[in-house]
Amino acid sequence: MTAAQTNITSVGTLAGLTIDGNLTFSGVSRSITGLNSLSASTITGSLSTAAQTAITSLGTLTGLTIGGSLTFTGASRTITGLSSVSATNITGTLATASQTNVTAIGNLTGLVVDGNMSFVGASRSITGLASLTATDLISTENTQCNTISGTTLTYPMYSDSFSLTLRNSSLVSSSYCGIALHNDTGSTSNTTPSAAIISRRTSTTAYAGSNIEFMTRDDTLQATSLVKHMTIAGDGKVSIGSTGDKDFNILTAANADFRFGTLLGNRNCITMSWTYVSSNSTSNRLSFDTYGSTNTLVLTAGDRVCVGGAAPTSKFHVVGDSGILYGSWERVAEFGNSNATPMKAGLIIYGEPGGPNTNGVAFGTYTNDPLWFMVNGSTAMKLTPSKRLSVDKTAGAEATIHSGGDVWADGLFHIKQNVDGKAVYRTNWSQANYLAMEEAATLTHQIDASNKTSSISLMD
């Protein structure tokens, strides 16, 4: 037991040391070595020690500075209760509660959001994207676009009025922007889409209109060309295949078919079919058929119409066995040509229902033209506009009936008296000194070619 000894510089080896106060170190060398354990209620300053693998708790720290890396092992690897975390780089997954004050996160190599990403404020845009992949894209834009034909939009429809805007910033003609529909699991960077809808510029003029094109592919190849099937032009014209100049066009490389009706089945729908034989061929044709039939009506490129066949030999050709033509009681058919002074002919059936006394059929011309009757391709009979009929004679008729050959009667041959009370028969109508027979009152005489006469008595 001794008073404080301020000059003791060494105490040898102690079995134990109890200090009822503070242990203070001064000088340059201030260290305690060889400790197996250190227990203290409070440690101030810096504690320098080798790696301590058995430390399980540090209590409550007012601060912790680590001049190296902080590594977590085991199943539970979490830091909880942080007010803030500051780091130059964070690797792995950072789990944290909602952070409303994060204003920037630097450059990310990737970002996984397990939930919804919401944008608020006036500026709501994502820029610089190379691609955007989503299961669903849902818009909450309240703008309703008025697309009723023939009406005026209630206000200018600027691009930012729409829920989704795809922009093509190029003024190059035929450049486009569009939507690709991808139905494959392969990479989108080297796989042709299954289908696409594009808007293609029609000129290099700023704010120029565009065509909407619908494209698909029908194969199992990964990289193949899309085929354009339908175009809606800027002026509203619709084309299937090549672009046409009419309101609705179907222009394909070969044959084309158009079908409409109730359902697919015999006599339940109608088909319009274009058959392409070759370029500029008069055999190219358009046919109209009910489902289950062929060549109901055919219009050829040679300006011919055929009913029941595909190869008409005239302007109008009907193919069939019976009942192929049927018309009304009044005017069945009318024909004409394209001469400078056109002629017209027709077929008329007279007789209204309930009036059988006027029944009849008329066939002839409506113009001042003769009516010809042919047999085996040559003229057999001709009826002139002056109502003279010649048989087997192509030259003009010299009488009401003029035969170019013999006239034969198995029965009587009657000659009715004219207004002069005469009945005359001559071997030539217009020349004198030909054989003639004439009855005038009770006198009948005959004159031959040599001017010889002889009287013949005829019975009254």
Distance (Å) of CA 99 to CA 83, 85, 105: 10, 11, 12
d(CA 251, CA 363): 44
Q: Does residue 445 register a pLDDT over 50?
A: no
Q: Does residue 451 register a pLDDT over 70?
A: no
CB-based burial label for 306 (10 Å; 0-12, 13-18, 19+) = buried
d(CA 52, CA 352): 124
Would you state the structure tokens that stand for residue 263, as one six-digit string?
């359902």
The mean pLDDT value for 346-365 works out to 73
Distance (Å) of CA 32 to CA 20, 27, 46, 283: 18, 13, 13, 113
Would you state the structure tokens that stand for residue 103, as one six-digit string?
């204003």
Higher pLDDT, 368 or 92: 368
pTM of the model: 0.49
Higher pLDDT, 246 or 352: 246
**Residue appearing with tokens 């027709």:** 346
Among the residue ranges 18-22, 120-124, 313-317, 408-412, the one predicted with the least confidence is 120-124
Would strands 389-391 and 297-300 be described as parallel, antiparallel, or unpaired? unpaired
Among the residue ranges 158-172, 174-188, 226-240, 427-441, the one predicted with the least confidence is 427-441
d(CA 107, CA 128): 13
Distance (Å) of CA 298 to CA 180, 257, 270, 273, 331: 41, 14, 14, 9, 24
- Beta strands, E only, 182-308: 195-201, 210-216, 227-232, 238-241, 248-251, 256-261, 269-275, 285-290, 297-300, 305-307
For the chain, give percent helix, strand, coil, nearest 5. Answer: 0, 25, 75
> Closest Cα to residue 271, out of 251, 255, 248?
255
Q: Does residue 113 register a pLDDT over 50?
A: yes
184 contacts: CB under 8 Å, gap ≥ 6: 191, 194, 222
The mean pLDDT value for 173-189 works out to 86
> Closest Cα to residue 399, out of 384, 409, 385, 389?
389
351 contacts: CB under 8 Å, gap ≥ 6: 329, 358, 359, 360
> What proportion of the chain, given as a percentage, has pLDDT over 70?
77
Q: Does residue 131 register a pLDDT over 60?
A: yes
Would you state the structure tokens that stand for residue 137, as one six-digit string?
């894209």
What's the one-letter identity of residue 376? N
d(CA 210, CA 173): 10
Cβ–Cβ under 8 Å, residues 237 and 245: yes
The pLDDT value recorded for residue 422 is 63
Q: Does residue 325 register a pLDDT over 90?
A: no
Among the residue ranges 265-279, 297-311, 333-347, the one predicted with the least confidence is 333-347
Confidence tier at 420 by pLDDT (50, 70, 90): low
The pLDDT value recorded for residue 450 is 47
The mean pLDDT value for 23-28 works out to 79
Most confident of 113-117, 390-394, 413-417: 390-394
Cβ–Cβ under 8 Å, residues 249 and 231: no
Per the document, the length of the chain is 460
Higher pLDDT, 145 or 56: 56
Cβ–Cβ under 8 Å, residues 272 and 295: no
> For 422, left (φ over 0), alpha (ψ -120 to 50), or beta?
beta
Confidence tier at 233 by pLDDT (50, 70, 90): very high
Confidence tier at 202 by pLDDT (50, 70, 90): very high
d(CA 402, CA 395): 10
The pLDDT value recorded for residue 270 is 93
Would you state the structure tokens that stand for residue 311, as one six-digit string?
């190869």
Average pLDDT of the chain to the nearest whole number: 78
Among the residue ranges 12-21, 55-64, 100-109, 352-361, the one predicted with the least confidence is 352-361
Cβ–Cβ under 8 Å, residues 314 and 290: no
Most confident of 45-59, 205-219, 312-326: 205-219
First-to-last alpha carbon distance for the chain, in angstroms, is 202
Residue ranges of the domains in the chain? Answer: 160-252, 370-408, 412-460
